[in-house]
Amino acid sequence: MAMDILEAPFMQELIRTCGSMYRLGWNERNGGNISMIIDEGEFAFLGNLPILRNFSISFDAKDVAGRFLAVTRGGSYFRNVEIDPAHNLGILRISDDGKSAGLLWGFTGEGQPTSELSAHIRSHTARLRQDPHHQVVTHCHATNTVAMTYIHELSDKAFSHTLWQMESECIVVFPEGVGVLPWMIQGSDEIGKATAAKMESYRVCIWAQHGVFAAGGSLDEAFGLLETVEKAATIYIKIGRGGIMNTIRDHELKSLAEAFKVNYRKDFLSL
Ligand code: 2HA
Ligand code: ZN
């Protein structure tokens, strides 16, 4: 039986998440985008909806062929998602050959999917290889995380290690660390490929001087990762470089990870 898409729990949660991200100051103007794989079993009625328009995909999306994706509109403002979700969000079905996406709902008035569709679809592909329950990719311009990329070494190891030291939950929440990319031009397939390469081993990929991507099995999980990374980066920015008198030392990070039984990146510590 068809249901009102706006009433669907996944849509309600997506709308709420966009509002929360806007209010945290992470999605100014048209900054940021979200895409979410919709459970085909639960919302199979989507397959009966007519395709309103088709978008060609310039990269290979065959690993997500046939899947339904809720995505933010290119150029949309997160601030406006709660006010007019059908304008600012869309539901796509990736074609069986992975070369196009059919619009089933939303993007009213000629809208297109997010400009970062390559990074999203390629990241979904990478994360699904690691985690069959993977569902969500989010991108935002979390202020302190971006600030940190100006004053911190950008290797995955050094960046992850500092974030882990900034508060005790970090190694528990992201024991695999975070991936960091140097500055690149946004919206390109090149940055999409580089992001997906990081997503093979991490659920968080930081874009230096730009923002952060996070992936998870639910909106809560992806959003929670963003919050934790941004909290750690905020502490780093607040304490200032060189002013550190106390920190979480490597043998303590090891005990912490062992106490919470997380499989952390041991080569990120110097023991
Ligand atoms: O949607 O954030 O990275 C605008 C962006 C591009
Ligand atoms: Zn961005």
Last residue of a domain, one of 96, 115, 134: 115
The rounded distance, in Å, linking the Cα atoms of 30 and 28 is 6
For residue 52, what are the domain limits?
Answer: 1-115
CA of residue 196 relative to chain centroid, distance: 11
Atom of ligand 1 nearest to the CA of 210: 3
- pLDDT of 178-221, one tens digit each? 999 999 999 999 999 999 999 999 999 999 999 999 999 999 99
Please tell me what DSSP assigns to residue 93.
E
Residues 10 and 69 in one domain: yes
Contact 233, 145 (CB under 8 A): yes
Q: Atom 4 in ligand 1: which residue has the minimum CA distance?
A: 31
26 and 2 within one domain: yes
Pocket test for ligand 1, best of 138, 186, 226 (most atoms within 8 A of CB): 186
Whether 133 and 105 share a structural domain: no
Q: What is the mean pLDDT of residues 99-115?
A: 97
- Residue bearing the CA closest to ligand 1, atom 3: 186
110 and 23 fall within a common domain: yes
Domains in the chain: how many in total? 2
Are 101 and 121 in a shared domain? Answer: no
pLDDT at 240: 84
Dmax (CA) for the chain in angstroms is: 62
Q: Which residue has the higher pLDDT, 57 or 245?
A: 57
Residue 124 has pLDDT above 70, yes or no: yes
Chain segment 163-180, per-residue pLDDT in tens:
999 999 999 999 999 999
Q: Which of 85, 115, 145 is the last residue of a domain?
A: 115
1 band by pLDDT with thresholds 50, 70 and 90? very low
| Residues 92, 66 within the same domain | yes
| Ligand 1 midpoint to CA 136 (Å) | 16
Distance CA 13, CA 9 (A): 6
Q: Which atom of ligand 1 is nearest to 207's Cα?
A: 3
pTM assigned to the model:
0.94
Same-domain check for residues 159 and 243: yes
* 190 and 81 share one domain: no
Residues 120 and 249 in one domain: yes
From 22, 28, 29, 33, give the residue whose CB has the most ligand 1 atoms within 8 Å, as the site to mutate. Answer: 33
Catalogue the active-site residues. Answer: 116
pLDDT at 242 over 80: no
More confident position, 258 or 60: 258
Domain boundary among 100, 115, 130: 115
User: In terms of C-beta density within 10 A (0-12 exposed, 13-18 middle, 19 or more buried), how is residue 245 classed?
Assistant: exposed
Residues 102 and 184 in one domain: no
Q: Mean pLDDT over residues 127-144, rounded? A: 98
pLDDT at 42: 83
- Predicted pLDDT at 136: 98
Residues 61-85: pLDDT tens digits?
999 999 999 999 999 999 999 999 9
Average pLDDT over residues 89-93: 98
| Same domain as 125, residue 245 | yes
DSSP state letter for 188:
S
Instruction: Check which CATH number belongs to the domain holding 70 and give it.
Output: 3.40.225.10
